[in-house]
Amino acid sequence: MSVQERKGRERAVRERLIVATAGELADQQGWDAVTTRQLAERTECSQPVLYSHFRGKREIIGAVALEGPHPGAAEGRLTTPDKRRLVDLRG
């Protein structure tokens, strides 16, 4: 596997993590309370990295909407299996 392929996979996993985390935060606090700074901190990436994936909060909301209902949303919690996967890719 090439470095470019690995980086592409890591980017896709990070993007899924951002979307899943944004959905989780929105379920907990509502979209008005969700900030890109908070989202960057929760996903352990910088705001510039967040903006390399999405142009802004509106685009993140759109990605969450396209993803559909989140598992666990009815119980008020979500799982983020991609976060574990991202850690695996880093290690």
Q: pTM to 2 decimals? A: 0.74
- Listed by start position, the domains of the chain span 3-90
**Separation of alpha carbons 32 and 72, rounded Å:** 21
- Domain 3-90 sits in CATH at 1.10.357.10
pLDDT tens digits, 14-72? 999 999 999 999 999 999 999 999 999 999 999 999 999 999 999 999 999 998 766 54
**Separation of alpha carbons 11 and 86, rounded Å:** 9
Residue 90: pLDDT above 90?
A: no
Work out the pLDDT band at 80, boundaries 50, 70, 90. very low
What number of other Cβ atoms are within 10 A of residue 61's Cβ?
17
- The helix/strand/coil state of 68 is coil
Instruction: Please give, one letter per residue, the 3-state secondary structure of 28-51.
Output: HHCHHHCCHHHHHHHCCCCHHHHH
- The pLDDT, as a whole number, for residue 70 is 61
Work out the pLDDT band at 74, boundaries 50, 70, 90. very low
